[in-house]
Structure 1
Amino acid sequence: MFLAWNEIMKNKLRFTLIVGVLMLVAYLVFFLSGLANGLASLNREAVDKWDADAIVLTEESDQSLTQSSFDIDLVGDIDAEESAVLGQLNAIAQTGDQKANVSIFGIDSGEFIMPEVTEGTAFTSSNEVVAGDSLKDDGFRLGDTLSLSSTKETLEIVGFTDEARFNAAPVLYTDLETFERVKFGEEAAGNDSQISGIAVRTADPSSVTNEEELAVIETETFIESLPGYTEQSLTLNFMIYFLFVISSVIVAIFLYVLTVQKISMFGVMKAQGIPSGYLARSVIAQTAILATIGVAVGLGLALLTGAFLPSAVPVSFDILTMLIYGVVLIVVAILGAVFSVLTIVKIDPLKAIGG
Structure 2
Amino acid sequence: MFLAWNEIKNNKLRFTLIVGVLMLVSYLVFFLSGLANGLENMNKEAVDKWDGQGVILTEESDINLPQSSLTLDDYNGEGVDEYASLAQINSIATSDDHKSNVSIFGIDKEEFIMPNVIEGDAFAKEGEVIANESLKDEGFKLGDKLSLSSTEEDLTIVGFTNNAKFNAAPVLYTDLYTLQKVRYGKAAENYEDRINAFILRTDNLSDIEVPDELQVVDTTTFIENLPGYSEQNLTLTFMIYFLFIISAVVLAIFLYVLTIQKVSIFGVMKAQGISSSYLARSVIAQTFLLAIAGVIIGFILTMITGFFLPAAVPVAFNYLDLLVYGIVLIFVSVLGALFSIQTIVKIDPLKAIGG
- TM-score range (shorter-chain normalised) is over 0.9
Q: Does 1:272 find its partner at 2:272?
A: yes
Give the corresponding residue for 1:299: 299
Query: In the TM superposition, what is the alpha-carbon distance from 1:208 to its structure 2 partner?
Result: 2.1
Q: Does 1:317 find its partner at 2:289?
A: no
- 1:88 alignment partner AA: Q
Query: In the TM superposition, what is the alpha-carbon distance from 1:77 to its structure 2 partner?
Result: 5.6
| Structure 1 residues 15-40: Cα deviation after superposition (integer angstroms, max 9, x where no partner) | 01101111111111111111111111
Over the matched positions of the two proteins, sequence identity in percent amounts to 64
Structure 1, 179-188 or 228-237: larger mean CA deviation: 179-188
8 Å CA contact 1:4–1:286 kept in 2: the answer is yes
Give the corresponding residue for 1:124: 124
Map 1:221-232 → 2, pairs under 5 A: 221-232=221-232
Q: Does 1:23 find its partner at 2:23?
A: yes
**SS where residue 76 of structure 2 aligns?**
helix
Give the corresponding residue for 2:85: 85
8 Å CA contact 1:180–1:193 kept in 2: the answer is no
**SS where residue 111 of structure 1 aligns?**
coil
| Structure 1 residues 116-141: Cα deviation after superposition (integer angstroms, max 9, x where no partner) | 11111111222111100110111000
C-alpha spacing 1:51/1:149, structure 2 compared with 1 (3 Å): same
Structure 1, 228-237 or 189-198: larger mean CA deviation: 189-198
| Structure 1 residues 237-258: Cα deviation after superposition (integer angstroms, max 9, x where no partner) | 1111000000000010000110
Structure 1, 323-332 or 201-210: larger mean CA deviation: 201-210
Give me the whole-angstrom Cα distance separating, in 1, the residues matched to 2:186 and 2:295: 60
Give me the whole-angstrom Cα distance separating, in 2, the residues matched to 1:134 and 1:352: 66
Give the corresponding residue for 2:255: 255
- 2:83 alignment partner AA: S
Query: In the TM superposition, what is the alpha-carbon distance from 1:78 to its structure 2 partner?
Result: 4.2
| Gaps in structure 2 of 5+ consecutive residues | none
8 Å CA contact 2:251–2:336 kept in 1: the answer is yes
**SS where residue 163 of structure 1 aligns?**
coil
8 Å CA contact 2:77–2:83 kept in 1: the answer is no
- 1:143 alignment partner AA: G
Query: In the TM superposition, what is the alpha-carbon distance from 1:204 to its structure 2 partner?
Result: 2.2
| Structure 1 residues 9-62: Cα deviation after superposition (integer angstroms, max 9, x where no partner) | 000000011011111111111111111111111111110111111111111111
Give me the whole-angstrom Cα distance separating, in 2, the residues matched to 1:48 and 1:77: 21
**SS where residue 155 of structure 1 aligns?**
strand
**SS where residue 85 of structure 1 aligns?**
strand
| Structure 1 residues 222-279: Cα deviation after superposition (integer angstroms, max 9, x where no partner) | 1111111111111111111000000000010000110111111111111111111111
**SS where residue 102 of structure 1 aligns?**
strand
8 Å CA contact 1:128–1:174 kept in 2: the answer is yes
Give me the whole-angstrom Cα distance separating, in 2, the residues matched to 1:340 and 1:68: 59
Give me the whole-angstrom Cα distance separating, in 1, the residues matched to 2:98 and 2:259: 62
Map 1:189-204 → 2, pairs under 5 A: 189=189, 191-204=191-204
Map 1:61-210 → 2, pairs under 5 A: 61-76=61-76, 78-189=78-189, 191-210=191-210
Give me the whole-angstrom Cα distance separating, in 1, the residues matched to 2:45 and 2:168: 9
- 2:43 alignment partner AA: N
Give me the whole-angstrom Cα distance separating, in 1, the residues matched to 2:104 and 2:192: 20
Query: In the TM superposition, what is the alpha-carbon distance from 1:190 to its structure 2 partner?
Result: 5.1
Query: In the TM superposition, what is the alpha-carbon distance from 1:185 to its structure 2 partner?
Result: 1.6
C-alpha spacing 1:340/1:191, structure 2 compared with 1 (3 Å): closer
Give me the whole-angstrom Cα distance separating, in 2, the residues matched to 1:78 and 1:285: 63
**SS where residue 65 of structure 2 aligns?**
coil
Give the corresponding residue for 2:40: 40
C-alpha spacing 1:210/1:75, structure 2 compared with 1 (3 Å): closer
8 Å CA contact 2:180–2:191 kept in 1: the answer is no
Structure 1, 126-135 or 187-196: larger mean CA deviation: 187-196
Give me the whole-angstrom Cα distance separating, in 1, the residues matched to 2:117 and 2:80: 26
8 Å CA contact 1:267–1:350 kept in 2: the answer is yes
8 Å CA contact 1:87–1:197 kept in 2: the answer is yes
8 Å CA contact 1:77–1:209 kept in 2: the answer is no
Give me the whole-angstrom Cα distance separating, in 2, the residues matched to 1:197 and 1:244: 42
Q: What TM-score results when the alignment is normalised by the length of structure 2?
A: 0.98
| Structure 1 residues 178-226: Cα deviation after superposition (integer angstroms, max 9, x where no partner) | 1111112222215551010011011222222321111111111111111
Give me the whole-angstrom Cα distance separating, in 2, the residues matched to 1:314 and 1:347: 52
Give me the whole-angstrom Cα distance separating, in 1, the residues matched to 2:191 and 2:276: 85
| Gaps in structure 1 of 5+ consecutive residues | none
Give me the whole-angstrom Cα distance separating, in 1, the residues matched to 2:344 and 2:79: 68
Structure 1, 132-141 or 265-274: larger mean CA deviation: 265-274
Give me the whole-angstrom Cα distance separating, in 1, the residues matched to 2:58 and 2:186: 25
**SS where residue 185 of structure 1 aligns?**
helix
